[in-house]
Amino acid sequence: MTSTAPWTSKKPTAVLVLADGTVIEGVGVGATGKVCAEVCFNTSLTGYQEILTDPSYLGQIVTFTFPHIGNIGTNEEDIEDLTPAARRGAVGVIFKADITEPSSYRASRHLDEWLKSRGVIGLSGIDTRALTAWIRENGAPNAVIAHDPNGVFDIEALKAEARNWGGIEGRDLAKEATSGQSSQWAQTPWVWDEGYGEADPAEAKYHIVCVDYGVKRNILRLFTGLDCKVTVVPAQTSAEDIMALNPDGVFLSNGPGDPAATGEYAVPVIRQVLEKDVPTFGICLGHQMLGLALGATTTKMHQGHHGGNHPVKDHTTGKVEIVSMNHGFAVDSDSLPEGIEETHISLFDGTNCGLRVSGKPVFSVQHHPEASPGPQDSHYLFRRFINMVRERKGEPALAER
């Protein structure tokens, strides 16, 4: 692939340099500087702010296939990382069209200004369709994205950086995305046009402990909306400390990086939690590490799944759901041991998207049922988890749908 920027005599102010030596020139947006990362593409039409603040994107450059990004500006509410001051999320972004002025009543800042504040380096004005097609053919590449308003780049040095960067495989990025200390979450789901509410944890019926590998806020909100007190604990919290909180259920969150690397310390903890027979639910990275804890293996995907239009079949209901996804690793279906049932599969490529342990209150999914952004077809999974908690307490089940 060659550069696709429509340059005449004008200098590019940003470049994307792939590990194979490909150089793509464009217009710089957001922060200046350079960073090495993996390039992926996201097919969502909306929710760019939630996507860019999803900690699962740490170490990645997001290419948006939708051409017009930034139209609604940004605000202080649509942020998904738990501690936005730490700016855990995508490190780079690629757009086709220039960012326009905000046209939403909720906007408080222009997207370009917001990207600068978070240190996200951006590139616009390129053929994102061509880059997406390249990734589909060749896989998600390692690259350097660089932005210099003066258009001064040492291309050969950038090529060497991209070529020599080790990539995401083998890296434990959850330790960078996790919370630094335990905390309580009380915010409830957003309601039109009131915004987010606040719950009183002292009045909650159930206590969920969330092991934070890079959790999204909307996951926590949905738990709170189901009458749960939510305690968030860092990724390296011991099983003893988790169980000392007397949870009704344990949640294994989403997050970035290679599950096998994070699993070196997380898998032993998960196995000890499972021995306590407490209801356990995992999403995304949490799903992958639950799989590892149960004896399965994970693999790096060719291009990953990133977007809000992915069809997944739930074998437990026979229904097909359109879901939000963001992952570059997958649990190997063929490695699932006896007693572990595959509950969900991707209808794009047949990869594993869910599992459960026969006879135990333990299950997980690869996709993001909390959406934010994306369809809400899979919201029922939160009620399915709470029903496991209710069953332990002798309470009747909630309707899943």
Determine whether 38 is an active site residue. Answer: no
End of a domain among 136, 164, 192?
A: 164
Q: Is there a single domain that holds both residue 148 and residue 197?
A: no
Q: Is there a single domain that holds both residue 230 and residue 339?
A: yes
Determine whether 80 is an active site residue. Answer: no
Residue 193, preceding bond cis, omega within 30 degrees? yes
89 token code pair: 């999320």
Q: Longest C-alpha distance within the chain, in Å? A: 73
Report helix, strand or coil for 334. helix
Report helix, strand or coil for 28. strand
pLDDT band at 318 (very low <50, low <70, confident <90, very high): very high
pLDDT band at 6 (very low <50, low <70, confident <90, very high): very low
Q: In the predicted model, is pLDDT for residue 8 greater than 50?
A: no
* pLDDT: which is higher, 88 or 123: 123
**Beta strands 183-185 and 142-147, pairing class:** unpaired
Q: Are 56 and 50 in contact (CB under 8 A)?
A: no
CATH of the domain at 127: 3.50.30.20
Q: Is there a single domain that holds both residue 203 and residue 309?
A: yes
Check 38, 80, 321, 370 and give the catalytic one: 370
Q: Is there a single domain that holds both residue 254 and residue 181?
A: yes
User: What pLDDT score does 87 carry?
Assistant: 74
CATH of the domain at 266: 3.40.50.880
Sign of CA dihedral 341, 347, 349, 353: negative
pLDDT in tens, 104-129: 999 999 999 999 999 999 999 999 99
For residues 366 and 315, what is the distance between their CA atoms, to the nearest angstrom? 14
Q: Is there a single domain that holds both residue 155 and residue 30?
A: yes
Place of tokens 């190997």: 332
Check 147, 305, 327, 368 and give the catalytic one: 368
For residues 252 and 214, what is the distance between their CA atoms, to the nearest angstrom? 10
The answer to whether residue 218 sits within a structural domain is yes
The answer to whether residue 398 sits within a structural domain is no
For residues 26 and 113, what is the distance between their CA atoms, to the nearest angstrom? 18
Q: In the predicted model, is pLDDT for residue 324 greater than 60?
A: yes
The answer to whether residue 400 sits within a structural domain is no
Mean pLDDT calculated for residue range 351-373: 97
Q: Is there a single domain that holds both residue 149 and residue 220?
A: no
Report helix, strand or coil for 22. coil
350: left (phi over 0), alpha (psi -120 to 50) or beta: left
The answer to whether residue 3 sits within a structural domain is no
Q: Is there a single domain that holds both residue 299 and residue 272?
A: yes
Q: Is there a single domain that holds both residue 329 and residue 223?
A: yes
pLDDT band at 218 (very low <50, low <70, confident <90, very high): very high
For residues 155 and 34, what is the distance between their CA atoms, to the nearest angstrom? 12
pLDDT in tens, 267-292: 999 999 999 999 999 999 999 999 99
Q: In the predicted model, is pLDDT for residue 351 greater than 90?
A: yes
Q: In the predicted model, is pLDDT for residue 192 greater than 60?
A: yes
Q: In the predicted model, is pLDDT for residue 353 greater than 80?
A: yes
Q: Are 68 and 104 in contact (CB under 8 A)?
A: no
Q: Is there a single domain that holds both residue 211 and residue 342?
A: yes
Q: In the predicted model, is pLDDT for residue 401 greater than 90?
A: no
Q: Is there a single domain that holds both residue 147 and residue 198?
A: no
Q: Is there a single domain that holds both residue 184 and residue 131?
A: no
The answer to whether residue 399 sits within a structural domain is no
What is the pLDDT of the chain when averaged over all its residues? 95
Residue 293 DSSP symbol: H
Q: Torsion angle of alpha carbons 8, 14, 15, 16, nearest 10°?
A: -130
Determine whether 284 is an active site residue. Answer: yes
End of a domain among 115, 131, 164?
A: 164
The answer to whether residue 124 sits within a structural domain is yes
- Summarize the chain as % helix, strand, coil (round to 5): 25, 30, 45
Nearest to 144 by CA among 152, 135, 153, 136: 153
The answer to whether residue 401 sits within a structural domain is no
Place of tokens 């995907």: 301
Check 40, 228, 284, 353 and give the catalytic one: 284
End of a domain among 145, 164, 183?
A: 164
- Structural domains in the chain (count): 2
Which residue range forms the structural domain that includes residue 246?
A: 174-392
For residues 361 and 372, what is the distance between their CA atoms, to the nearest angstrom? 26
Q: In the predicted model, is pLDDT for residue 72 greater than 80?
A: yes
H/E run at residue 47: none
Mean pLDDT calculated for residue range 242-265: 98
The answer to whether residue 135 sits within a structural domain is yes
In degrees, rounded to 5, the angle at the alpha carbon of residue 105 between the alpha carbons of residues 99 and 110 is 30
Residue type, 267: V
Q: Are 93 and 30 in contact (CB under 8 A)?
A: yes
Q: Is there a single domain that holds both residue 140 and residue 232?
A: no
Q: In the predicted model, is pLDDT for residue 2 greater than 60?
A: no
